C-alpha cells in the first residue's frame, strides 16, 4: 500500500491554523478531495456554511479554477478570524464572521458546501433557492446506510431522506470512507 497523496499547500495551512486554534472538528480529507474535484467544475460564486477554521474552504480553494469566488460564513468569530488568516492574501476567498443566512442574498451559488450537523438549518426547503440551476450542494458527516429509508442511530434520517428524494434535485449518497458519506445533489 502506498502513502496517501500529499495535501495541497492551502489545506496544510488550514490544518495548521486549526491545530493552533484547538479546533478538531473539520472536513475529512476524503470529503475534501471530493470538494476539490467538484470545485474544479464550477465557475461563479461558491459558498460554505459553517467555516470552522477553514479546512473545507481550503479544499474548495485547492480545486477552484479561473475567476471563481468562495464566500464562507462562520458564526463563531474566533474561528472565522482563524480561517481568515489562511486566505488573507487571496482575493478569491471571503471569510465572514456571520450566520450563514447572511449569505442568502449573495447567491445563487454554483456550489454550496454544508455540514449536516443541524438538520433544521440545512433542510432542503431552506437551501434549494440558494443554488443556481445545475448548481451542486454537498452535505457531509453522514454515517453510511445501506437501507431505505436511511436509518441513523435507530431513527429515520429525515434530512438525508429529504435531500435524496426532493424533486428539485438529482442526488446521490457517496461513501467517502468506510465510516463516512456525503450527499451530493444537483439542482434541476
pLDDT one-digit tens code per residue, 74-107: 999 999 999 999 999 999 999 999 988 888 889 8
What is the predicted pLDDT for the residue at 4? 56
DSSP 30: H
What is the predicted pLDDT for the residue at 30? 94
Mean pLDDT, to the nearest integer, of 18-34? 88
pLDDT one-digit tens code per residue, 113-171: 997 667 777 889 999 999 999 999 999 989 998 889 888 888 988 999 999 999 999 99
What is the predicted pLDDT for the residue at 100? 87
Q: How far apart are CA 86 and CA 38, in angstroms?
A: 21
Of 139, 136, 121, the closest CA to residue 181 belongs to 139
Mean pLDDT (the chain) is 92
Q: Which domains does the chain have, with CATH numbers?
A: 28-187 (3.40.50.150)
β-bridge mates for residue 71, sequence order: 47, 94
Q: Taking 50 as the threshold, does the pLDDT of residue 186 lie above it? A: yes
DSSP 92: T
Q: Take residue 8 and report the three cell numbers written for it.
A: 495541497
Q: Which residues of 40-74 are buried (b: 16+ CB within 10 A; e: fewer)?
A: eebeebbbbbbbbbbbbbbbbbbbbeeebbbbbbb
The secondary structure element, H or E, covering residue 62 is helix 55-63
Q: What is the pTM of this model?
A: 0.92
SS3 assignment, position 22:
coil
Amino acid at each position: 500500500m502506498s502513502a496517501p497523496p500529499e495535501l495541497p499547500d492551502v489545506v496544510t495551512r488550514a490544518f495548521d491554523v486549526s491545530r493552533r486554534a484547538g479546533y478538531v472538528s473539520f472536513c475529512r480529507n476524503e470529503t475534501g478531495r471530493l470538494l476539490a474535484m467538484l470545485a474544479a467544475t464550477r465557475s461563479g460564486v461558491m459558498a460554505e456554511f459553517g467555516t470552522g477554521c477553514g479546512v473545507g474552504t481550503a479544499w474548495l480553494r485547492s480545486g477552484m479554477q479561473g475567476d471563481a469566488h468562495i464566500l464562507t460564513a462562520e458564526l463563531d468569530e474566533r474561528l472565522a478570524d482563524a480561517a481568515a488568516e489562511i486566505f488573507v492574501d487571496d482575493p478569491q476567498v471571503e471569510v465572514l464572521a456571520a450566520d450563514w443566512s447572511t449569505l442568502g442574498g449573495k447567491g445563487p451559488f454554483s456550489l454550496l458546501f454544508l455540514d449536516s450537523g443541524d438538520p433544521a438549518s440545512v433542510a432542503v426547503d431552506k437551501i434549494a433557492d440558494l443554488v443556481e440551476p445545475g448548481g451542486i450542494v454537498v452535505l457531509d458527516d453522514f454515517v453510511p446506510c445501506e437501507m431505505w429509508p436511511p436509518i441513523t442511530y435507530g431513527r429515520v434520517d429525515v434530512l438525508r431522506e429529504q435531500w435524496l428524494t426532493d424533486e428539485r434535485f438529482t442526488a446521490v449518497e457517496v461513501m467517502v470512507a468506510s465510516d463516512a458519506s456525503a450527499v451530493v445533489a444537483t439542482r434541476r
